[in-house]
Amino acid sequence: MRIHLLRHGETEYNKEARYQGRKDIPLSEEGKKKLFCSKENPDQVYVSGLSRTRQTAEIIYPGAEYIAVPDLDEMDLGKFEGKQFSDLRRNKDYRRWLDSGGSTRCPGGEDKAEFSERICKAMQMILEKECDAGTENVYIVAHGGTVMAAMERYCIDCPGDYYGWQTGNGEGYLLDCSWEGAQMRWHVVRRLSYDKNAGRVHLYYGEGRGKTSIAMGTALRALQQGYDVTVLQLCKNAGSGETAQLEKLGAKIYYGKETPGFVSAMNAEEKAKLKETQTKQLEYIMTGYTAPISYPGRLLILDEVCAALDVEVLDEKILWNSILRKPSDLEIILTGRYPKEWLLQAADYVTELKAVRHPYHDGLSARKGIEY
């Protein structure tokens, strides 16, 4: 069984960074315009008892039966609801709540354990019922907290980590749901986004020439449109013509290797060092994306990432987190010959380049200005 789990679209409270909790705040007009209709055509969609989830479902999945489950409502934030950080920063109860990581009870509201238990019981009820009915796809539109609580409990890819499952408005996850006794187990297939402005994931792979060229061409276009562009060339060293030019235009360029040569010629110690270096580079880049956004968009190119995974010189779990739990606005381009199956599933754009003819097979080596 597959679960399509989404957070509702944008409200005025979201835009103003106000705590909304169980207040029945509708989608804003701008929030409605950001959403688009899915090609999926479900017969029924589960929503919470709050209007913003039904409004979102009506735009993304029009014509379905909308089944309200109030126990899927957002966390009750009590006296904090309707307030911004600036309104609460000197409030002692609020400071204690923040210091607890949001786990203690909000004055007049719920604590995290109580909220999570409510959400997970509702999820268990819905999914047991649909599993018994032989349903193949279950559609749920709820809230950010609802998604986080359920993913913390049931996702086997990264168990726990409540706040690591934050999603943008109109976004969520496609999940494979299985059962081990009475315990549900969820596996992330890919991110879902019905926000027109959200960043997507591209994968260009195959034996054909042009994978890096496509990525760098997109980088040039993004720079011209004011994007923040970062390129990590895995398993490569400096020297390729396009990266030097992109750097002059404002792109940030990182190289996995310091010296020429093929990774296949490295010994085990050299590969281990390369894996450590490249993984640290990726972690450093992703940490930078936690800063406030000051660009029209952000683009990250992970060139030859498929090769890096294939020869085990990049931590796969770090990459998984970087792609499937990326910031909402971040566009990611992946290139390489032999992608892992999960990368094929995770990408929104998937293009295979087929080699039909190449001068290399006639003995011609790479030419400066054309191949590099």
Q: b or e along 65-101 (b: 16 or more beta carbons within 10 Å of the residue's beta carbon)?
A: ebeebeebbbbbbbebbeeeeeebeeeebbeebeeee
d(CA 372, CA 368): 5
d(CA 199, CA 190): 13
Give the catalytic positions in this structure: 8, 74
Torsion of CA 311, 315, 317, 323, to 10 degrees: -90
First to last CA, the chain: 46
d(CA 129, CA 1): 12
What tokens does 364 get? 């011609």
- How far is C-alpha 347 from the geometric centre of its chain's CA atoms? 10
Beta strands 65-68 and 298-303: pairing type? unpaired
Closest Cα partner for 271 from 234, 238, 243? 234
Structural element, H or E, at residue 99: helix 92-99
d(CA 124, CA 72): 11
d(CA 146, CA 289): 24
3-state helix, strand, coil split of the chain in percent (to 5) is 40, 20, 40
